Amino acid sequence: MARLCTPGSLQPVCFREQYEWTSHPWHLAAKRSCVLGLVSLVLVGGCGDIFAARSAPLFTVPLTIVGEPVDPAVIDTGGDYELMLRDSFGLKVVDNADVLAFGGREQVNITEGFRYTAGGLENTADGALVGLSVCNCNGLGFHFFRETGVVLGVNFASLHAAFLAVVPAGGVTIPFQVPPPFLTDFDGAFVEVDVASGGESRAVLALLDTGTNASMMQRGLVGTASSLTPDRLNITIGKERFGTVAVQVGLFDTEGLPDLIIGTDVMRAWSDRWYFFFAKKGGTVTVFPRVVTDPADAN
């Protein structure tokens, strides 16, 4: 949903039933060129909190359009699309569509259908979104994973992303939750978490979004921002079997977006290893968390 715009440099390595890339961390500490600005993640948390560190990584894959290499695509599990392009790359523009981003609604172009290869997997797109103002980048949304059926694995310790045939055994697997009522057509990676700030707490349906390294929250959900930092708020995000993360989130006011968008800053604090499977409807995320309350839960 939120998208950062400096893809990392990748060297593809092919494995049987698996495609894997190595990303350099200094390329992945991306600057946010969109309207929100980079969110600092240094704050004070409570006893037992895990802290979300600065400069969480993004993951990208090599991308070719009709056989021609272009800039790598950011892997965007929060993106309700198949492909987003920073340029039409010679493809014919055949339509346009309204897109909702943090800055509000805007109109973007849609290309003709075409063949492409992402991370070594060839596919045909009916079209791609072109020219979203908040991000001068290419993006690979969750519809790609629904189309191909591959499992996405990201490893924050090794900075590897991989396309797998199956989810590895041994982690904690959580089914995606049904989207909130105001997002019934957005069948993304929603999970329920507990959010707290300033003495207020509530359960929230949050979107897991590898397309941003700075978590974001709808203003007014919990707590009140300081007048000195009106667009930032210190909160904790808790998930049973994962633990509690203390993080400073950016606040947004745009209606129609998920209440909470969890980026790679919080994901990395919870676990080094994440595996996303997007079924034709719904899906699962499998995690090897740092904090497991019951050893039986890890099986």
pLDDT 10s digits, 235-244 = 999 999 899 9
* Rounded CA separation 14/62 (Å): 12
**pLDDT-derived band of residue 104, with 50, 70 and 90 as boundaries?**
confident
> Does the structure show a pLDDT above 90 at 13?
no
Task: Quick: pLDDT tens for 172-193.
Answer: 999 999 999 888 889 999 999 9
pLDDT of 39 strictly over 90? no
Q: What is the pLDDT of residues 116-159, one digit of tens each?
A: 999 999 999 999 999 888 778 999 999 999 999 999 999 999 99
22-33 pLDDT, tens per residue? Answer: 332 222 222 222
Which H, E and C letters describe the chain, residue by residue?
Answer: CCCCCCCCCEEEEEECCEEEEEECHHHHCCCCCCCCCCCCCCCCCCCCCEECCCCCCCCEEEEEECCEEEEEEEEECCCCCCEEECCCCCCCEEEEEEEEECCEEEEEEEECCEEEEECCEEEEECCCEECCCCCCCEEEEHHHHHHHCCEEEEECCCCEEEEECCCCCCCEEEECCCCCHHHCCCCCCEEEEEEEECCEEEEEEEEECCCCCCCEEECCCCCCCCCCCCCEEEEEEEECCCEEEEEEEEEECCCCCCCEEECHHHHHHHEEEEEEEECCCCEEEEEEECCCCCHHHHC
Sorting pLDDT into bands at 50, 70 and 90, what band is 57? confident
Task: Give CA–CA dist 152/163, Å, rounded.
Answer: 5
Query: Using one digit for the tens of pLDDT, what is the confidence trace for 84-103?
Result: 999 999 999 999 988 887 67
**pTM, two decimal places:** 0.81
The sheet that has 129-130: what strands, in order across it? 93-101, 104-111, 129-130, 83-85, 138-141, 68-76, 60-65, 114-118, 121-125
Does the domain formed by 10-291 have CATH 3.40.1000.10? Answer: no
Tokens of 87: 């340029």
Q: Is the pLDDT of residue 15 over 50?
A: no
Q: What is the pLDDT of residue 136?
A: 84
pLDDT one-digit tens code per residue, 194-233: 999 999 999 999 999 999 999 999 999 999 999 999 999 9
Q: Give the whole-angstrom CA distance, residue 255 versus residue 160.
A: 34
Query: Best-predicted range by mean pLDDT among 11-15, 30-34, 50-54, 166-170?
Result: 166-170
Distance of CA 277 to the CA centre of its chain: 13
Q: What is the pLDDT of residue 7?
A: 30
Q: How many CB atoms lie within 10 A of CB 234?
A: 17
pLDDT value of position 56 = 79
**What's the pLDDT tens digit per position in 43-56?**
223 334 444 445 77
What one-letter code names the amino acid at 234? Answer: N
Residue 291 pLDDT: 61
* Residue 276: pLDDT over 70: yes
Q: How far apart are the first and last CA of the chain?
A: 31
Task: Report angle CA 133, 182, 277 to the nearest 5 degrees.
Answer: 75
- Sequence-distant (6+) residues with CB within 8 A of 206 are 190, 191, 192, 193, 195, 237, 258, 259, 260, 261, 262
